[in-house]
Amino acid sequence: MDIKRSFGKLAWLLFLSLFLSQSLAAKEITLEEIPWPTERECEPCVTIQFMTMEMRLPLNLIGKLHVINSGTNLHILPPSYPSQNSVLFLAIPPEKLLTLFESNGLLDGLNINTNEEFFDALGARPSENESLAALRQIKDLDIASQYTKTSKDSVHAYRIQSVQPNNDTIYFVIDDEEIVYMIAGEITEELYEAVLSNLHIKPWSSY
């Protein structure tokens, strides 16, 4: 009985140690700039236009598409649906990002005026800045394993990889556009490469 109790305590201590080390490491996550994925052939694929974002996604990644809220949300379920392993595309207007945080005083002292400056700032260590620490927590940087930025022409993609399953996020910031696009859910490397490698920005009028 004592052996079982000792073994249980040891297992708990090992779990707690691993959890704390992951939490502390996550709080120190900073922004890392990486190259944009190389454009590649995509067959058989389907072209998806989500507002100004045009993508070519492999058919083997798509089981079903749900268009929600008059086209401002797009839900992509995998071929194995129904399952939890799906992704959601969202369009975030300024009143739900910079304007909202500014009105709540969370941008004070951070010299943030654009969407790109906002996501760049999230990648800095908060030090003693309580506003930045709060913003990083709101955007799940406190439970992130990696935070990266990659840019091509007018597009900047910020990827937050979570230590929690099915909780990854990519934010797309486009120069001179107030709306930020977001992909959330289980973002596999295959999906990440597929979305970025064939991504083009097309004005709505060119549909």
**pLDDT 10s digits, 69-89:** 766 788 888 887 665 668 999
- pTM passes above 0.85: no
The CATH fold of domain 30-206 = Protein Transport Mog1p; Chain A (3.40.1000)
Please state the rounded mean pLDDT for residues 45-50: 90
Q: How far is CA 52 from CA 90, 131, 143, in A?
A: 12, 32, 30
User: Is pLDDT of 177 > 60?
Assistant: yes
Q: How far is CA 96 from CA 82, 92, 170, in A?
A: 30, 6, 16
> Residue 72: how many CB atoms within 10 A of its CB?
15
User: Is pLDDT of 195 > 90?
Assistant: yes
The percent of residues above 70 in pLDDT, for the chain, comes to: 81
User: Is pLDDT of 18 > 50?
Assistant: no
User: Is pLDDT of 157 > 80?
Assistant: yes
Domain ranges of the chain: 30-206
**Buried b vs exposed e over 160-182: b needs ≥16 C-beta within 10 Å?**
bbbbeeebbbbbbbbeeeebbbb
Please state the rounded mean pLDDT for residues 124-141: 90
**200 vs 65, more confident:** 200
User: Is pLDDT of 23 > 70?
Assistant: no
